[in-house]
Amino acid sequence: MSDIKTRVVAIIVDKLGVEESEVTAGASFTNDLGADSLDTVELIMEFEKEFNIAIPDDQAENIQTVGDAISYIEKNA
Amino acid sequence: MGALTPIGNTLNEYWEGLLAGKSGAAPIQQYDASLFKTQFACELKNFNIEDFIDRKEARKLDPFAQYAMVSATEAVVDSAIMESNPNLDRIGVIWGSGIGGLKTFQDEAQAFFGGDGTPRFNPFFIPKMIADIAAGHISIKYGFRGPNYVTVSACASSTNAIIDAFNTIRLGKADAIVTGGSEACVNEMGMGGFNALKALSTRNDSPETASRPFDLDRDGFVLGEGSGALILEELEHALARGAKIYAEVIGGGMSGDAYHITAPHPDGLGAKNTMLAALDDANVAPSEIDYINVHGTSTPLGDIAEVKAIQQVFGDHAYDLNISSTKSMTGHLLGAAGAIEAIACIMAVQHDIVPPTINHFTDDPELDPKLNFTFNAPQKRTVNVALSNTFGFGGHNTSVIVKKFSK
């Protein structure tokens, strides 16, 4: 697992209280991992803090799955 | 009813603690208080929120809301009201909190002002912090869709909540209300702020004797944290479902001091007016009151003013009353004080025992020695009617009266 992927998964496990095995690349935050709209905002904020990046709102809207988050951060971090 | 207090984490443990004269005060565990003027408080003991709420949900609740959920749940379960298939549109939540999510505010401010200036705030910051959220969370858990809000009047908050619940029910606007209050201010901001006001005892060498209402050497209150919850229910509704009835709420009084932001009126004018208003509302004579659970925070001025007010309202009957300050044991739970002290009155009415004012060592010559402050040990007596006083910074005064229930 890449370093970015490890750190993203760890944040999701911590914030959403889910098992690491559930956090697959295709898993949707809202449909599969039980996040509501505020949880999703919090995840984006945690990614920004962890990787010291700023994710604009229009980009954040496109980050729906674990895989979306990892690939966005790999491109922008 | 439900209670989560520094002397017991359930209603029964709380009541046993009161009768045992147990002090909840000890050196602060939640943060390093070594630089603070006051280094002790009445904190909860052996309490882990994850025993009650899963970690993911608990993380979204400030401690004051966590405490609210724990005691409200105990009260709802105790009342068995959910087992009667009630009309949830007719059950409300009217909660009290003096301050709300102070820890959340502290943490978020620290993260921002200690950072590089990037305004990166947690989306749960506001909904965790706001004082009204406790009522929201309780209603969401049970689906209670009746009137829903939180009262804020500092240390009188939860008595205001109880009075509002009482009024809402007698106006016919609800069948039952979950009421009470919670507070969680034992943190750097809370202790530092009250220290700056010179409101807190600084008896760091003896925390367990620091809360000593009506003692000559009292030097301020001891901050406490926790929660108390009561289910107020319309009588016919309660009888129809065969509810366990602890006692009857028969009246409430409210007044303002219009005097000073933190000091009580020196003659206890506001305190006198709220007790008179409560007696009038309950339609009982002063001579019918058996027990007063006083505000009695252990401050030099406040205790004197309240006793003056009691003597003005009750005259010679003041000598026949039992008076006690259970804050001597629990510390001062601010916005939760009214809730846990109303519960103390209700348990006194039910069991015909008055819980004590502990930590009495030296009489204060300014206090009439013929008054019975129930010093140091509980006293058995018939308690038909009991009155609870709570007063808040801002000059908010409240009293509520409860009566032994008989069909």
CA A40 to chain B, closest CA, distance in angstroms equals 9
Interface test with A, best of B54, B122, B140 (most A CBs within 10 A): B122
Q: Mean pLDDT throughout B292-314? A: 96
Helix (H, G, I), strand (E, B) or coil at B247: coil
DSSP string, B126-173: HHHH-TTHHHHHHHHHHT--S-EEEE-BTBTHHHHHHHHHHHHHHTTS
First to last CA, chain B: 20
CA B53 to chain A, closest CA, distance in angstroms equals 12
Do B361 and B29 form a contact (C-beta atoms < 8 A)? no
- Taking CA atoms, B176 is separated from B10, B94, B138, B152, in Å, by 22, 10, 14, 21
> What does pLDDT average to over chain B?
97
Pick from B230, B259, B264: nearest CA to B245: B230
Q: Mean pLDDT throughout B5-24? A: 98
Do B27 and B33 form a contact (C-beta atoms < 8 A)? yes
Tokens of B42: 């009445």
Residue holding tokens 């505020």? A38
**pLDDT at residue B407 in the model:** 78
Q: Mean pLDDT throughout B25-35? A: 98
* Cβ contact, residue pair B123, A38, below 8 Å: yes
Q: Mean pLDDT throughout B74-103? A: 98
Residue holding tokens 């009588």? B235
CA distance B11 to A76: 54
* Cβ contact, residue pair B120, A45, below 8 Å: yes
Binned at pLDDT 50, 70 and 90, residue B270 comes out as: very high
A-contacting residues in B 20-79 (Cβ below 8 Å):
54-56, 59
Do B406 and B170 form a contact (C-beta atoms < 8 A)? no
Q: Which chain A residues have a beta carbon less than 8 Å from that of B56?
A: 16-17
Q: Where are the alpha helices (DSSP H) in B315-389?
A: 327-330, 337-351
* Cβ contact, residue pair A45, B122, below 8 Å: yes
CA distance B54 to B59: 9
Pick from B320, B387, B388, B327: nearest CA to B357: B327
* Per-residue pLDDT reduced to its tens digit, B200-220: 999 999 999 999 999 999 999
- Give the length of chain B: 407
Question: ipTM for the complex?
Answer: 0.86
**pLDDT at residue B111 in the model:** 93
* CA closest to A14 among chain B residues: B56
Fill in the DSSP letter of residue A59.
H
Q: Does A41 touch chain B (CB under 8 A)?
A: yes
- Taking CA atoms, A66 is separated from A8, A14, A16, A56, B374, in Å, by 8, 14, 12, 18, 63
Fill in the DSSP letter of residue B37.
S
**pLDDT at residue A2 in the model:** 76
A-contacting residues in B 120-159 (Cβ below 8 Å):
120-124, 127
Q: Does A32 touch chain B (CB under 8 A)?
A: no
What number of C-beta contacts closer than 8 Å exist between A and B?
Answer: 20
Residue holding tokens 């229009």? A58
Phi and psi torsions of B191, nearest 5°: -70, -40
**pLDDT at residue A1 in the model:** 55
Binned at pLDDT 50, 70 and 90, residue B63 comes out as: very high
* Cβ contact, residue pair A38, B55, below 8 Å: no
Q: Mean pLDDT throughout B258-263? A: 93
Pick from B252, B266, B357, B359: nearest CA to B306: B266
Of B56, B120, B123, the CB nearest to A48: B120
Do B28 and B37 form a contact (C-beta atoms < 8 A)? no
Helix (H, G, I), strand (E, B) or coil at A9: helix
CA A71 to chain B, closest CA, distance in angstroms equals 22
CA distance B186 to B245: 34
Binned at pLDDT 50, 70 and 90, residue B56 comes out as: confident
Strand B2-4 with B148-151, pairing: unpaired
* Cβ contact, residue pair A17, B54, below 8 Å: yes
- Sheet bearing B176-183, strands edge to edge: B2-4, B226-233, B176-183, B91-96, B148-151
Tell me how many degrees the CA angle B281-B331-B190 measures, rounded to the nearest 5.
105
* Per-residue pLDDT reduced to its tens digit, A12-51: 999 999 999 999 999 999 999 999 999 999 999 999 999 9
Residues of B identified as active-site: 155, 295, 332
Of B56, B120, B123, the CB nearest to A49: B120
Tokens of B137: 């969370």
> What distance lies between CA B288 and its chain's CA centroid?
24
Q: Does A50 touch chain B (CB under 8 A)?
A: no
Residue B89 pLDDT exceeds 60: yes
CA A67 to chain B, closest CA, distance in angstroms equals 22
* Per-residue pLDDT reduced to its tens digit, B133-144: 999 999 999 999
Q: Which chain B residues have a beta carbon less than 8 Å from that of A38?
A: 123-124, 127
Q: Is the dihedral of CA B75, B41, B325, B312 positive or negative?
A: negative
Which regions of B277-317 does DSSP assign to beta strands (E)?
A: 291-293
Q: Which chain B residues have a beta carbon less than 8 Å from that of A48?
A: 120
B329: how many CB neighbours lie within 10 A of its CB? 32
CA distance A16 to A34: 7
Helix (H, G, I), strand (E, B) or coil at B365: coil
CA B283 to chain A, closest CA, distance in angstroms equals 50
